[in-house]
Structure 1
Amino acid sequence: MVMLKRKILGSAFLSTALILGACGDKEEVSDPPTADAVESEFGFTSFDLDIDTAEQRDAVEASFEVDATGVEAEYVNSLDSKKLHGDEAYEFLKPIFTDLALTKDMEKEEVMEKVLTAFGISEYTEFDLEVQYEDGQEIEYKDLKK
């Protein structure tokens, strides 16, 4: 009887561990595109945005990263009470990133204007964006209004 209980408990623990392990990181995209496809489509491999407004700190946050292990995406808009992770965030961000068409040669003001427009923000108190372009160069676009 004791042996049977141990087998059942052991099986339950093992099943739980396998199920939890299969869930993965909630920000991971389940069927990610290849890094080459993302680079050619977006022109960058990493995008990390944080915009504060007078009404809301961290009003808009968007993060996206593709590497050899996969793709992670997250989008949070506190003004619209929207929180997206993984596949949902990637599908939401994909057309925005495609339309942005950012390049490392753009002026800071042009990049900021395009990003603010794309994410529907007209005024901000702090703008912080880090982009890693396809050649590996990372550029930070930052502005603070007081």
Structure 2
Amino acid sequence: MEKLKLASTIFLTSALIMGGCGNFGKNADKPNREEATLIHEDEKAGGSVETGDGYGFTTFDLEIDVEGKDAIEAAYDVTGNLKVDYENKLSNKKLTGSDAMNELSKLFMDILITKDTPQQEVIDKILKYYRLDMYSKFDLEVDFDDGTKLNIEDVK
């Protein structure tokens, strides 16, 4: 009798494991079935880097001049099609498309600005990122996802 209980317990346990972990759906044998993908919580709610929600803004337009000459220009706009341009004359980089996006993504993730970040803190974070001590012109325009705008213009 005890062997019967043990055998039925093993059978029931293995059936539950196979049912819970197995892939017995109607498309299990099809080679072209869809693979599961991981989705970040923000993407599920409609946000991603392509829509701007990944960084918190839909446009980012930066221009920094050093000693009266163009030094850094960065443009990121997702209001229509994704448009990204980046030029850093101090390090001789001029990038577009995915190369520019990779470069700007590093900047965005380092500075992490929000609509509530004070203007001087935004300037300081960007200058620190580019290792600049001074500038002759700093112009930044950011349109945040919630419709608020940040506009910093400083000429020295």
- Separation (CA, whole Å) in 2 of partners of 1:40 and 1:99: 16
Deviation at 1:108, TM superposition (A): 0.9
- Separation (CA, whole Å) in 2 of partners of 1:58 and 1:123: 13
Pick one of 39, 45, 49 that aligns with 2:62: 49
Q: Which has the higher contact order (CA 8 A, sep 6+)?
A: 1
Pick one of 71, 95, 104 that aligns with 1:59: 71
* SS of equivalent residue, structure 1 residue 70: coil
Q: Is the 8 A contact 1:65 1:71 kept in 2?
A: yes
* SS of equivalent residue, structure 1 residue 96: helix
Pick one of 84, 91, 105 that aligns with 2:116: 105
Q: Which moved more, 1:106-115 or 1:38-47?
A: 38-47
* SS of equivalent residue, structure 1 residue 41: coil
Ranges of 4+ aligned residues in structure 1 off by more than 3 Å: none
Matched AA of 2:60 = F
Superposed CA offset, 1:114-136 (max 9, x none): 11112232210110000011112
Partner of 2:130: 119
Which segments of 5 or more consecutive residues in structure 1 lack a partner in the other structure? 1-33
Larger Rg: 2
1:78 aligns with 2:89: yes
Q: Is the 8 A contact 1:41 1:98 kept in 2?
A: no
Q: TM-score, normalised by structure 2?
A: 0.65
Which segments of 5 or more consecutive residues in structure 2 lack a partner in the other structure? 1-42
Over the aligned positions, Cα root-mean-square deviation in angstroms equals 1.7
